[in-house]
Amino acid sequence: DAKTTQPPSMDCAEGRAANLPCNHSTISGNEYVYWYRQIHSQGPQYIIHGLKNNETNEMASLIITEDRKSSTLILPHATLRDTAVYYCIVRVQRTSGSRLTFGEGTQLTVNP
């Protein structure tokens, strides 16, 4: 699976959009981009994933560049409860296996 690079930490004001970048310059054509987050002392929570098109769900939006070498997770109106470590993961589409390779992630702190 391709390696990802994320900033170690970011701050965001409550109510504002949080834009979390991820670099995955060695991504292959069949690798998906996944985002998970982990609130302290809990298990990671799935947020969103995509292959090449931009995706949106009730939690967030995922913007993938045309060359697929980077992506941005957007939380449109961050709240204090969005304070967490956010992990960007790229993953090969396999016919078997649910292995995720977690990096160090980005600690997002939402400030009041």
Distance CA 82, CA 37 (A): 9
| 96-107 CB burial, b ≥16 within 10 A, e <16 | eeeeeeeeebbb
Q: Taking the complex as a whole, how short is the minimal distance between the CB of residue 49 and another protein, in angstroms?
A: 7
Q: Which is nearer to another protein, 14 or 103 (CB)?
A: 103
Q: Which is nearer to another protein, 8 or 112 (CB)?
A: 8
Distance CA 95, CA 49 (A): 17
Q: Taking the complex as a whole, how short is the minimal distance between the CB of residue 92 and another protein, in angstroms?
A: 6
**Bridge-partner residues for 63, per DSSP?**
72
Q: Which is nearer to another protein, 28 or 65 (CB)?
A: 28
Beta-carbon contacts of 4 under 8 Å, excluding residues fewer than 6 positions away, are: 22, 23, 24, 88, 89, 90, 103
Q: Taking the complex as a whole, how short is the minimal distance between the CB of residue 83 and another protein, in angstroms?
A: 18
Q: Which is nearer to another protein, 97 or 112 (CB)?
A: 97
Q: Taking the complex as a whole, how short is the minimal distance between the CB of residue 112 and another protein, in angstroms?
A: 26
Residues lying near another protein in the complex (CB under 8 A) are found at 30, 32, 34, 36, 41-46, 49, 87, 91-104
